[in-house]
């Protein structure tokens, strides 16, 4: 069955729209992935800082004074 030029024009327009939407979705995904990586690092840094702030000394102070 032969295609009329009108249908080819509609198909080309729909293809351009679909390709544009695909590129837009890929850009959104890449942006979201970068955001996830960024915030994951921030959370890890904050957790590490909190651990350092509350970690008790590994040895009691009296033992280190006796050795000196």
Q: What is the pLDDT of residues 3-17, one digit of tens each?
A: 678 889 999 999 999
Query: Whole-number mean pLDDT of the chain?
Result: 86
Kindly calculate the radius of gyration of the chain based on its CA atoms and give it in whole angstroms: 30
Give me the mean pLDDT over the 32-57 stretch.
Answer: 87
Residue 68 lies in a domain: no
Measure the CA dihedral 12/16/18/22, to 10°: 150
pTM recorded for the entire structure: 0.58
Q: Which residue has the tokens 């033992």?
A: 63
Residue 35 lies in a domain: yes
DSSP state, residue 58: S
Q: What is the number of domains present in the chain? A: 1
Residue 64 lies in a domain: no
Residue 63 lies in a domain: no
Reported for 3-11, long-range contacts at CB under 8 A and 24+ positions apart, including other chains, are: none
């Amino acid at each position: 069955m032969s295609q009329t030029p009108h249908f080819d024009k509609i198909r080309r327009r729909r293809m351009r729209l679909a390709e544009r939407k695909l590129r837009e979705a890929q850009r959104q995904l890449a942006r979201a992935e970068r955001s996830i990586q960024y915030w994951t690092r921030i959370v890890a840094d904050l957790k590490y800082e909190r651990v350092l702030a509350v970690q008790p000394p590994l040895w009691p102070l009296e033992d280190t004074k006796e050795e000196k």
